[in-house]
Structure 1
Amino acid sequence: MTLKDKVALITGAASGIGEHCARKLAVDGATVVIADLNLVNAQRVAEDIVASGGKAIAVAMDVTSEEAVNEGVAETISRVGGLDVLVSNAGIQIVNRIEDYAFSDWKKMLAIHLDGAFLTTKAAIRHMYASNKGGSLIYMGSVHSHEASQLKSAYVTAKHGLLGLARVVAKEGGIRGVRANVVCPGFVRTPLVDKQIPEQAEALGISPQEVVKNVMLKDTVDGGFTSLADVANTVAFLAGFESSALTGQSIVVSHGWYMQ
């Protein structure tokens, strides 16, 4: 398994999990495309990867806009000559009880997580088919692709939806050598998760410490957070896997929280 001479586009890669995935794929030999709504931060990450000896470019991308996604993928093909791996990672979190969940927030969540995955897949897979080299589509799911939690109706719905999308892509793309899988992390200490801790504490009427111990980590085998490296290593493994023996699957990376 190798990523040498492969091109990998990662959405939401200017920070957090996406950034770490991009850095790992670059270390493993891929040319990485840092796609993000925040072009300034995307350029910072790309420049740092290049300064460290890797290959990277940055492109602006709003994953909820078909035009922006198509332009970003076209720019990728034009600048680096191809596209072999898509990591659909862009996402946000909004927590609230269902009765208080604004419809606008629901639509925003599904637009970023699900519409974004669909639009980037649609744009990328055409180039993968045209190249006759196959490819790997990797969706950033969650343990919430399988489990439910309070306050996360839109997030859980979106992450469940990624499983269906990946399985259809695996069925349609298999004959063309295109694989599709979902990485399902547990809680990772990113700013996105740190923001949730006081929000959930307030909504549930418990302390932030209780949120971490009794909500986020209570079902892990060791009380540990999933690390950024855990997720990035799994993405790199799937990106470099060279046969359709592993497609249409969800890989749970969660310290034992939810065992398939």
Structure 2
Amino acid sequence: MRSLNETLSVKQAANPDGRLIDKVVMITGAASGIGREIALTFASEGAMVVIADLDRQAAQRTAAEIDPTGKRALGVAMDVGDEEQVEIGMGQAIQAFGRLDVLVSNAGIQIVGPLVEFEFAKWKKLLSIHLDGAFLTTRAALRQMYKQNSGSIIYMGSVHSKEASPLKAAYVTAKHGLIGLAKVVAKEGAAHGVRANVICPGFVRTPLVEKQIPEQARAFGISEAEVVKNIMLKETVDGEFTTVQDVAEAALFLAAFPSSALTGQSLVVSHGWSMQ
């Protein structure tokens, strides 16, 4: 069985005209789940990737799997809600690769519970990671992108950027906020060649979603199977989860888009759950 690095080498050799040849990409929350899949997809298209994650060791392991030499992949520790850590991590990325072409603001958490009982500390924690994190990484990225007069910022929203569900007040609020931030970045960044867009996935069966299934089963007094069928996938056209590969392909499309015709937009990837 090929190693991950060998698999990526094969893909790159078969795809010498990859869509992100020598582009430098930072992905937050990229040591696992959706972020990791985006990093692998971007690397297979020729990008140099910076794996930013709260878990330094996991970030470095993922980077080493992509490129053990460290020439095309870097793992950095980053709590996206911490201004100093964001500035240090961004500085490490630019020092290593000399530029930044794409930022994928992906780091996030989920906390569910009735609004009337929702703890303020949990509200602040979730919004800090999703919104403060998006702001801090965006600001740091824009400083470099403006110097280059080019760049693309992709926010990881959700169908909950457009819809609402019970027990998810903080998450829905945060994900709606990312669309507003992307629109402002698209307006301000246009003069500097910077685009901004949002991906809005449906339910992707990552550890984040796996954790929600028993939580919602308890909250609603139903089985876990009913949570999946009647809550998570009820509005899809085929009863299927969105995959990490689906989301990574959408991110690649947005990152590689050749002009500012596609900016300030939100792309729903949800098996038809949300149609607009």
* Range class of TM-score, shorter chain: over 0.9
The answer to whether 1:243 aligns with 2:243 is no
Whether the 8 Å CA contact 1:7–1:84 is kept in 2: the answer is yes
Q: Which residue identity is paired with 2:198?
A: V
Distance 1:213 1:48, change over 3 A: same
Whether the 8 Å CA contact 1:87–1:137 is kept in 2: the answer is yes
Cα displacement string for residues 211-249 of structure 1 (whole angstroms, at most 9, x for unaligned residues): 000000000000000011000000011111121000000
**Partners of 2:95 and 2:190 in 1: how far apart?**
26
The answer to whether 1:129 aligns with 2:142 is no
The count of corresponding residues between Structure 1 and Structure 2 is 259
1:210 aligned residue (226, 230, 238): 226
1:195 CA drift (Å): 0.5
Equivalent position SS for 1:199: helix
**Partners of 1:126 and 1:23 in 2: how far apart?**
26
Partner of 1:194: 210
Q: Which residue identity is paired with 1:239?
A: A
Partner of 1:14: 31
Partner of 1:184: 200
**Partners of 2:27 and 2:243 in 1: how far apart?**
18
Partner of 2:112: 95
Equivalent position SS for 1:184: strand
**Partners of 2:54 and 2:123 in 1: how far apart?**
20
Whether the 8 Å CA contact 1:27–1:54 is kept in 2: the answer is no
Partner of 1:49: 66
Distance 1:54 1:253, change over 3 A: farther
Stretches (4+) displaced over 3 A: 51-54
Q: Which residue identity is paired with 2:168?
A: K
Partner of 2:83: 66
Partner of 2:155: 139
**Partners of 2:121 and 2:246 in 1: how far apart?**
33
1:53 CA drift (Å): 11
**Partners of 1:172 and 1:224 in 2: how far apart?**
38
**Partners of 1:248 and 1:213 in 2: how far apart?**
33
2:238 aligned residue (194, 204, 222): 222
Equivalent position SS for 1:90: coil
Partner of 1:83: 100
Once the two structures are superposed, the pairs formed by residues 151-166 of structure 1 within 5 Å of their partners are: 151-166=167-182
**Partners of 1:217 and 1:112 in 2: how far apart?**
26
**Partners of 2:144 and 2:127 in 1: how far apart?**
25
Distance 1:54 1:184, change over 3 A: farther
**Partners of 1:93 and 1:164 in 2: how far apart?**
20
Cα displacement string for residues 181-209 of structure 1 (whole angstroms, at most 9, x for unaligned residues): 00000000101100100000000111100
Percent of paired sites with the same residue: 66
Q: Which residue identity is paired with 2:104?
A: V
Q: Which residue identity is paired with 2:48?
A: T
Distance 1:54 1:190, change over 3 A: farther
Q: Which residue identity is paired with 1:222?
A: D
What runs of 5+ residues in structure 1 fail to find an aligned partner?
Answer: none
1:55 CA drift (Å): 2.1
**Partners of 2:189 and 2:103 in 1: how far apart?**
14
Cα displacement string for residues 142-163 of structure 1 (whole angstroms, at most 9, x for unaligned residues): 0000000010000000000000
Whether the 8 Å CA contact 1:26–1:54 is kept in 2: the answer is no
Partner of 2:4: none
Partner of 1:258: 274
TM-score (norm 2): 0.92
Q: RMSD of aligned C-alpha atoms?
A: 1.3
